[in-house]
Structure 1
């Protein structure tokens, strides 16, 4: 994980409006949000894993699943997940429904970020600053 200091840290935004601005650029609300915080994720690359710019936010007014929710942006960071190249030895196989978990466990879910993505992450944060502050 590499933190990227930004001028957007601490700024408050209406979450719905924030999503409307950033979704067309490729940002999504990460799946691991909770009632009081969440993440905007931008997938930079998926070569031998996933490299993301993650923009954390916390709720300052309202609820994440309702309109009129105000959030404060926290420090963006780069995140890298590396996955196995072969089959997952610990895949879950269900018995009653005959379903299975097809997703591999990461080899390293907090891997070092390849240097070539650091400059990309910094440029993405600068783009966010231009869109959200100007």
Structure 2
């Protein structure tokens, strides 16, 4: 599921500050990066199922590995995890309303914090 129109897509931020903002909101980058891309995930569990709110971005300047990148964010996604295949983001997936609402609230907070940097 795509969260279109959040105002996040296209925003840019310094990687170190972006890491801080995302971590404060429970979105973890951990090992989800390469030298040009980053992925922040927030895990949700409901009724024995696992879901991930995912915010991805790519470096428009610098290098993620050197921690000097400026990251441009993409459209946030909500996916459902299927063992052992991975996360599916299709529109046909059934997402609990509480997870959708919590995800939307988190994305509003991300946008507010990033707007302070612009």
The interval holding the TM-score normalised by the smaller chain is: 0.7 to 0.9
Distance 1:67 1:31 in 2: 13
Distance 1:115 1:37 in 2: 29
Is the contact made by 2:81 and 2:87 (CA closer than 8 Å) also made in structure 1? yes
Structure 2 residue 110 is matched with structure 1 residue 110: no
Distance 2:112 2:11 in 1: 13
Aligned to 1:88: none
Aligned to 1:125: 107
* TM-score, L = length of structure 1: 0.71
In the alignment of these two chains, the number of paired residues is 111
Structure with larger Rg: 1
Aligned to 2:31: 31
What secondary structure does 1:26 align onto?
Answer: coil
1:49 Cα offset (Å): 3.7
What secondary structure does 2:111 align onto?
Answer: helix
Structure 1 runs (4+) greater than 6 angstroms displaced = none
1:30 Cα offset (Å): 5.2
What secondary structure does 1:29 align onto?
Answer: coil
* TM-score, L = length of structure 2: 0.80
1:30-69 to 2 correspondences below 5 Å: 31-45=31-45, 47-69=47-69
Listed as ranges, the gaps of 5+ residues in structure 1 are 84-104
- What RMSD over aligned residues (CA atoms) do the two structures have, in Å? 2.0
